[in-house]
């Protein structure tokens, strides 16, 4: 199974902000859309990703005054991305090693969507359940 398969089920809507938005504005978007990360786009170009963890790190180290800072001061950049043809197992390994929960899917410079570790786990479970059902059907048919 590839990331393209995950996006075909999940959808390709991407929530985003800009690097000059305030952390307060970005946090409101995270809350409103009920997502754990926003891609950061400047003039259509992917320049970073801002996660809940980035916000919490800023709050823990600098206090609430951080909410007036620009997203650029707290986003993760450069962004780890993968192509739509990437296999979900290798992406799950990358996410574990890099300690990230969201990966933008980019083909030839075009942002196609974002996958979370939850999306990948859900897809993998569905794939395994399908294989299990096929095996049970095969064994039961004998």
Residue holding tokens 């950049």? 77
Share of the chain above pLDDT 90, in %: 85
The answer to whether the beta carbons of residues 123 and 48 sit under 8 Å apart is: no
**Once rounded to an integer, what is the mean pLDDT over residues 13-34?**
97
What b/e sequence results for 130-142 when a residue is b if at least 16 CB atoms lie within 10 Å of its CB, and e otherwise? eeeeeeeeeeeee
Q: Which domains does the chain have, with CATH numbers?
A: 3-140 (3.10.580.10)
Kindly report the average pLDDT of the chain as a whole number. Answer: 93
Looking at residue 127, what is its pLDDT?
Answer: 84
66-97: per-residue pLDDT in tens? 999 999 999 999 999 999 999 999 999 999 99
- pLDDT confidence bin for 130, thresholds 50/70/90: confident
Torsion of CA 16, 93, 74, 26, to 10 degrees: 30
């Amino acid at each position: 199974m590839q990331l393209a398969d995950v996006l075909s089920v999940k959808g390709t809507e991407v929530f985003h902000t800009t690097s000059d938005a305030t952390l307060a504005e970005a946090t409101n978007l995270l809350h409103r859309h009920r997502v754990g990360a926003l891609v950061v786009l400047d003039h259509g170009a992917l320049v970073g990703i801002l996660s809940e963890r980035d916000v919490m790190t800023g709050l823990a180290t600098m206090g609430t005054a951080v909410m007036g800072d620009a997203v650029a001061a707290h986003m993760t950049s450069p962004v780890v991305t993968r192509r739509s043809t990437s296999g979900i197992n290798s992406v799950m390994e990358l996410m574990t090693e890099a300690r990230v929960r969201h990966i933008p899917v980019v083909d030839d410079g075009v942002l196609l969507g974002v996958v979370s570790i939850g999306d990948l786990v859900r897809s993998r479970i569905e794939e395994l359940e399908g294989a299990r059902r096929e095996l049970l059907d095969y064994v039961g048919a004998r």
